[in-house]
């Protein structure tokens, strides 16, 4: 089947490659001509494990092509919308880009065409799309619009497409249930649990899923601070808690905070919705505040461990992406910590094996080093902020020789403890006993 996909960002590219690997022909459209040229040259503009190799393979097989044209090619049965819903002046999850693309497709695609919106929507987003469809239908037959949120993790996107936890699609009007089912059927070879429902419920499924995951992370992060104060080990505590199958271990991993393009934004969006609806949600409201408080606590802990004022101290920050396996720095805890440290008067030298370019773009004032050793030169402390496997095998003897101080503060529990201690360094790990 021929699919037309709009938006060559992380979600769009992984979705396009996933459908191509299922045997579909996918035409990918993006307004960024440089990005389209990069893709046509067989290179991925984003880092996602396995993505570039899969992209080249599917393009070589003739199952993917790229264009700046906004109109579906003749014969395409479905359009899949994967453009952003970023925070803007109207708040988180702005649907401006989605509405623009959907309006264009309603005007240009034939009536039998189905438009599936994979972009994350606020709960009122489907109503906005329904108004666009209703206005267009008043003038005559037009394509059907349904929703199809994704549940993929950056750094594991291809695997999550191939083995999804579930496939969920939503209809804007009850008479469009069959179109929503037809979109769900595109994923049938993956044998995933499937749910077809009204689009408002589907939007809330997506938001509630991410906010619940963020709540588990925030809970683990607060436990880590308690463990630091009480002399306990957060890994042992969360392992014991996670043995209860009603709770589970997933997302009970303490670290420097919640990051990425989804969870932080949606921990703000859902409380705003509940406020507009007049529904008290003190638990949901607290998740975003907990994240900010936790990152401030991490900086406070670093200052206490350092034993000298942060003002004027050079801090080496290893890891700038919000998690390992991606070059995405959106809402990165590392960059949030860097901002807090600068407020305290510290200077920051950062390093990341994949996210140097995106970090510089997001924070032009950040000094980004070529490698970990350069970042550590003259540093009073080294802070591990992203769980890159590369940080497990650092040459800590060389790092110690380059540093002015002797503190290593690992917020991800990733370093080789014995190697750090053998180098004569002082090691502290967030929520864990060394």
What is the token pair recorded at 400? Answer: 């110690």
Question: What whole-number distance in Å separates Cα of residue 151 and Cα of residue 169?
Answer: 12
- For the chain, give the number of residues: 434
> Using alpha carbons only, what angle is made at residue 393 by residues 388 and 395, rounded to the nearest 5 degrees?
125
Contact 102, 132 (CB under 8 A): yes
Which residue blocks in 243-324 are alpha helix, DSSP H? 263-277, 282-306
Contact 408, 380 (CB under 8 A): no
Using a 10 angstrom Cβ sphere, with 0-12 exposed, 13-18 middle and 19 or more buried, the burial of residue 420 is buried
Residue of 82, 142, 227, 262 marked catalytic = 262
Dihedral over alpha carbons 417, 421, 423, 428 (to 10 degrees): 80
Phi, psi (5° rounding) for residue 402? -80, -25
Question: What whole-number distance in Å separates Cα of residue 364 and Cα of residue 181?
Answer: 46
Q: Give the burial string for 282-292 (b: 16+ CB within 10 Å, else e).
A: eebbebbebbe
Name every residue whose Cβ is closer than 8 Å to that of residue 158 and which is 6 or more positions away in sequence. Answer: 14, 17, 18, 48, 49, 50, 51, 54
Neighbours of 188 (CB within 10 A): 11
Question: What whole-number distance in Å separates Cα of residue 304 and Cα of residue 410?
Answer: 15
Active-site annotation holds for 142: no
Query: CA of 172: how far to CAs of 102, 106, 121, in Å?
Result: 13, 14, 13
Enumerate the active-site residues: 262
């Amino acid at each position: 089947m021929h699919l037309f996909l709009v938006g060559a960002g992380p979600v769009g590219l992984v979705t396009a490659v996933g459908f191509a690997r299922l045997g579909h022909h996918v035409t990918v459209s993006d307004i960024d001509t440089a990005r389209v040229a990069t893709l046509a040259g067989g290179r991925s503009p984003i880092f996602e494990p396995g993505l570039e190799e899969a992209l080249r393979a599917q393009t070589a097989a003739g199952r993917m092509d790229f264009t700046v044209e906004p109109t579906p090619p003749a014969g395409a049965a479905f359009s899949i919308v994967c453009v952003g819903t970023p925070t803007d002046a109207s708040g988180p999850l702005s649907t401006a880009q989605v509405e623009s693309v959907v309006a264009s497709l309603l005007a240009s695609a034939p009536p039998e065409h189905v438009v599936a919106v994979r972009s994350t929507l606020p709960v009122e987003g489907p109503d906005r799309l329904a108004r666009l469809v209703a206005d267009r239908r008043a003038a005559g037959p037009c394509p059907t619009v349904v929703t199809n949120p994704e549940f993929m993790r950056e750094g594991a996107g291809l695997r999550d497409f191939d083995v999804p936890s579930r496939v969920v699609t939503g209809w804007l009007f009850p008479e469009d249930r069959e179109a929503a089912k037809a979109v769900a059927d595109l994923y049938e070879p993956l044998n995933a649990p499937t749910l077809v429902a009204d689009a408002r419920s589907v939007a809330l499924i997506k938001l509630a899923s991410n906010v619940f995951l963020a709540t588990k992370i925030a809970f683990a992060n607060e436990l880590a601070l308690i463990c630091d104060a009480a002399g306990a080990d957060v890994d042992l505590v969360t392992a014991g808690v996670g043995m209860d199958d009603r709770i589970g271990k997933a997302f009970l991993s303490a670290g420097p905070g919640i990051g990425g393009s989804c969870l932080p934004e949606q921990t703000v969006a859902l409380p705003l919705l509940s406020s507009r609806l007049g529904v008290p949600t003190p638990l949901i409201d607290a998740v975003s505040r907990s994240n900010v408080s936790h990152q401030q606590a991490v900086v406070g802990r670093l200052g206490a461990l350092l034993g000298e004022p942060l003002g004027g101290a050079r801090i080496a920050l290893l890891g700038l992406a919000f998690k390992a396996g991606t070059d995405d720095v959106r809402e990165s805890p590392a960059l949030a910590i860097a901002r807090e440290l600068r407020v305290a008067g510290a200077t920051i030298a950062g390093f990341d094996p994949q996210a140097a370019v995106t970090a510089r773009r997001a924070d032009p004032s950040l000094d980004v080093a070529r490698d970990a050793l350069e970042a550590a030169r003259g540093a009073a402390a080294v802070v591990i902020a992203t769980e890159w496997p590369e940080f497990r095998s650092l040459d800590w003897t060389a790092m110690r020789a380059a540093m002015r101080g002797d503190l290593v503060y690992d917020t991800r529990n990733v370093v080789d403890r014995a190697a750090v201690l053998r180098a004569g360094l002082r090691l502290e790990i967030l929520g864990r006993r060394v």
